[in-house]
Structure 1
Amino acid sequence: MRKYLILSVFVITGVFQGFAGDKAEVWSRLYKRSVLPEFKYSIMLNIVELNDRAMIPLLEEILTEDIIANLDNKRSVTEERDFNELTKLVVRELGELKSKRSASLVYTIAKETSDPLLKVDAIVALGNMRATDYLNDISFILRNINMRPVKGKSAELEAESKIAYGAISALDRFKSIEGYSSVFFASIGWYDQRVKSFADKVLKTIVDNPIEALIPIITDGLFSEKEKAILEVAKCDAPTEDKAKAAREAMKQGLDNVAETIKEGMTLTSIRKNAIKVLYFSKSSDPEDVYYLSQSVRSGSDLEEKIYAIRTLGLNGSDEAIDGLVSILSDFNERSISGLDISYSDQDIIKEIIVTLGNTGNEKASGVLTEVQFSNYSSGIVKAAKTALSTLN
């Protein structure tokens, strides 16, 4: 077959030299005179080599009259293979030529073909064309595959994985927020690591500011989806005020939801910790942050989480943030005076609050720091309070 095709190329080249007229007209005549699929395929290889936009009308004509008009025809296995291989060449070339005017024809192939590899080529071609009219259609295709239960024959799953990969590639080309959510869910979907890693990579480049798509996931998603979403917030290049807004919602979700298993509890802790980090690096001073951060210090299940929250309150620096830290420390003072047990982790938190209050330089903290010295603490905590007070003074 290969020798036959190579020979046919030489024959075609000789015929080409005998024709007058422009290239598009010559190749059009050659293609229309060909009957055998092998010759048509060879001619198409030559057309593709030209990479000439002047060939677009011919490619559209072939797609319309020779391919789409015959999509439903019954063919043998060999004929079907030849038909699909020819179609792939046409579709790919229209994509490479970025022929947006051909998008409706290519989408027809994507929608109607039963060959997964041809469907992939058509979807990728639409992306190469930047055919934005079909952005939502491609996003819908990917979303449906994402939601597929992991059942069925391995060949079927492999085929759908390939289509998903092509859809992710196309959505990356569009660079639109409308395609972000489908790619996000593909990155944590049922696919093998190749597809998920590719989706993860595309999330970093598809849009600079994905916050509009991430907040609904943080609000309504499963715990694991919320966790992934706040991680994407942390990594993206969105404005700090947008990132802080998303982090605030993640803090709310992390505090309001109740874990029913140990794994869920760990996930909620991770959501809160990553949200706190976003607030810290965003240097957010919004008074609304104070409530969530204070709750994290009081009821968080992880020492690291509480330390992050204290430092973020200190960086916030607002009077509301100072009041929040003072209130927490005051509660610890009352417990210590009452003779209640202060655990080692609690002592770490108390020291962190004391140091943070001293670093703020806000004299609103002086009263509670003075109180520490008479609240039955260890000498180390008392010394830390004296140092913080001297910093304020």
Structure 2
Amino acid sequence: MRKLLTIGTLVFLMIFPCLLYPDEVSEMWGTLYKQAKTLRQKYEIMLNIVELDNRDVIPILIEALDELNQQRLYADMKEKVIQNDLRILVVRELGDLKVADASDEIFRVVRDAEDPYLKEEALIALGNVGAREYALNISLILRNLSVYRGEDVAAEEALANGCIYALEKFRDPVGFLPVFYASTAGFSRRITENAERALVNMVEDPSEFLTGLILTESSFEVKLQGLRAERRSGAPENRKFEIATQALNEGLINKPVDQDEETTLRELRRVALEVFIEIEEKNDKPVPLIEQVFYLNGGDDSEKIYAIEALKSIDTEEAAAALARYLAYQNDRQASGVTAKDNRIVIATIRALGSMSSKTGYRELLRAKFLGYPAVVGREAEKALKTME
């Protein structure tokens, strides 16, 4: 008789929900959930509870999750799947409703569940409810995932994704470095991009974190990613300029042991130079470092072009003097009969000097005009000289 009554109530609720007040509907669904005898019944009823999208069901959801957390996993695989699906349903709805009071029960899922995809849903829910009290715990989980990689790649990526999502939502500084290292840990492109996006949102000015990282990390790749993270961040431009200066110095003082490291160090220098070009700060601090780029063994022309543009952007007397010295170096080589394979570098140097506010390069521009360079170089020197008149 009781079973028939329950079925009748269920049918009534599904056909005539409009005849009841929302809180009455929620109460009746809650009663049905408690009376359900099987996991399948509970799951079907919970689907309807979730569809209500009503905060009146919050006590039902919390009680249901508490009950599920205390259950042992079913041995039968089909029952086990339903049990996990039911927990996912409850956890996700608690997150969507932003039920902060459920954070402890949700974290129990993260701590105790075996299914990594259930853990991922719980981590996402913690982010949605704003459970910042668990920021450190989640940071440690993510750090361990980044350092100790196992064989189940999909499971690890699910957990990493949940951790990154939660820490981004928390915007707690404790999560910044774990998310940064996750972005460099070799996860899939999706996880890496999620981590990079999260870094921008987590801390407005991460300079304090990234300065130490760029100066102390032994991995050149990590130094490079640290500079890129600073560049993407909302840090003040003067802080970005300062960190780019530190990164350029690291790119110059460290010596590569193989081709990969050489490529990474070159990229580190290039990104630093791009920051100077973008910011256009009149600051002489990086000028001696930028000047070193011109004389690197094995340095390529594109890197030298970036260095020229960086000095042009800084546009101080010292920056102009560094460019004038570099033009003098090129003029001396031309005078001694050592001709460049093309004229890109000397033309870029001449144009940069001509566009700057200083007249420091006048003498070397005059030399360049009459040194026997190809005619195009002479014409560029003449144009630059006219800007200084």
Q: CA deviation at 1:176?
A: 4.7
Separation of aligned partners in 2, 1:361 and 1:45: 70
Structure 2 residue ranges without an equivalent (≥5):
1-5
Q: CA deviation at 1:236?
A: 4.1
Cα root mean square deviation, aligned:
3.2
Match of 1:291, SS state, is helix
Q: CA deviation at 1:95?
A: 0.6
TM-score calculated relative to the size of structure 2: 0.84
Separation of aligned partners in 1, 2:345 and 2:184: 35
Between 162-171 and 124-133, the greater mean CA deviation after superposition: 162-171
Query: Is 1:356 aligned to residue 357 of structure 2?
Result: no
Identity across matched positions, percent: 30
Question: In the superposition, relative to structure 1, how do residues 372 and 81 fare at CA in structure 2: closer, same or farther (>3 Å)?
Answer: closer
Separation of aligned partners in 2, 1:315 and 1:379: 27
Contact conserved, 2:196 with 2:229, CA < 8 A, in 1?
Answer: no
Match for residue 54 of structure 2 among 48, 52, 64: 52
Residue deviations 1:203-255, cap 9 Å, x none? 55555544444444433262223333334444444432232222212211111
Match for residue 173 of structure 1 among 169, 177, 180: 169
Separation of aligned partners in 2, 1:361 and 1:137: 55
Structure 1 residue ranges without an equivalent (≥5):
1-7
Whichever residue aligns with residue 195 of structure 1, its letter is I
Query: Is 1:160 aligned to residue 156 of structure 2?
Result: yes
Q: CA deviation at 1:122?
A: 0.6
Contact conserved, 1:298 with 1:328, CA < 8 A, in 2?
Answer: no
Match of 2:282, SS state, is coil
Question: In the superposition, relative to structure 1, how do residues 77 and 348 fare at CA in structure 2: closer, same or farther (>3 Å)?
Answer: closer
Aligned to 2:70: 69
Residue deviations 1:21-79, cap 9 Å, x none? 84444344333333322222233222212222222223222222x122334x6644344
Separation of aligned partners in 2, 1:176 and 1:357: 46
Whichever residue aligns with residue 249 of structure 2, its letter is K
Q: CA deviation at 1:303?
A: 0.7
Separation of aligned partners in 2, 1:28 and 1:157: 39
Aligned to 1:5: none
Whichever residue aligns with residue 318 of structure 2, its letter is E
Query: Is 1:293 aligned to residue 290 of structure 2?
Result: yes
Contact conserved, 1:269 with 1:302, CA < 8 A, in 2?
Answer: no
Separation of aligned partners in 1, 2:139 and 2:276: 31
Aligned to 2:125: 125
Match of 2:294, SS state, is helix
Contact conserved, 1:9 with 1:43, CA < 8 A, in 2?
Answer: no
Which residues of 2 match residues 338-377 of structure 1 at below 5 A? Answer: 339=336, 341-344=338-341, 348-372=344-368
Separation of aligned partners in 2, 1:388 and 1:79: 80
Contact conserved, 1:297 with 1:307, CA < 8 A, in 2?
Answer: no
Query: Is 1:94 aligned to residue 94 of structure 2?
Result: yes
Whichever residue aligns with residue 262 of structure 1, its letter is Q
Query: Is 1:218 aligned to residue 220 of structure 2?
Result: no
Query: Is 1:256 aligned to residue 265 of structure 2?
Result: no
Residue deviations 1:363-393, cap 9 Å, x none? 3323343454676766654554444333212
Separation of aligned partners in 2, 1:312 and 1:15: 71
Separation of aligned partners in 2, 1:31 and 1:378: 88
Between 253-262 and 210-219, the greater mean CA deviation after superposition: 210-219
Which residues of 2 match residues 198-347 of structure 1 at below 5 A? Answer: 198-203=194-199, 205-206=201-202, 209-219=205-215, 220=217, 222-299=219-296, 301-337=299-335, 339=336, 341-344=338-341
Match of 1:258, SS state, is coil
Q: CA deviation at 1:315?
A: 2.1
Separation of aligned partners in 2, 1:89 and 1:380: 71
Residue deviations 1:275-326, cap 9 Å, x none? 1111111112111121121111222711111112112212211122122222
Between 275-284 and 347-356, the greater mean CA deviation after superposition: 347-356
Between 119-128 and 223-232, the greater mean CA deviation after superposition: 223-232
Separation of aligned partners in 1, 2:356 and 2:218: 37
Aligned to 2:38: 36
Question: In the superposition, relative to structure 1, how do residues 19 and 380 fare at CA in structure 2: closer, same or farther (>3 Å)?
Answer: closer
Separation of aligned partners in 1, 2:320 and 2:347: 15
Question: In the superposition, relative to structure 1, how do residues 370 and 192 fare at CA in structure 2: closer, same or farther (>3 Å)?
Answer: closer
Separation of aligned partners in 1, 2:86 and 2:40: 9
Whichever residue aligns with residue 388 of structure 1, its letter is A
Aligned to 2:3: none
Q: CA deviation at 1:171?
A: 3.0
Question: In the superposition, relative to structure 1, how do residues 63 and 373 fare at CA in structure 2: closer, same or farther (>3 Å)?
Answer: closer
Separation of aligned partners in 2, 1:242 and 1:10: 68
Contact conserved, 2:124 with 2:163, CA < 8 A, in 1?
Answer: yes
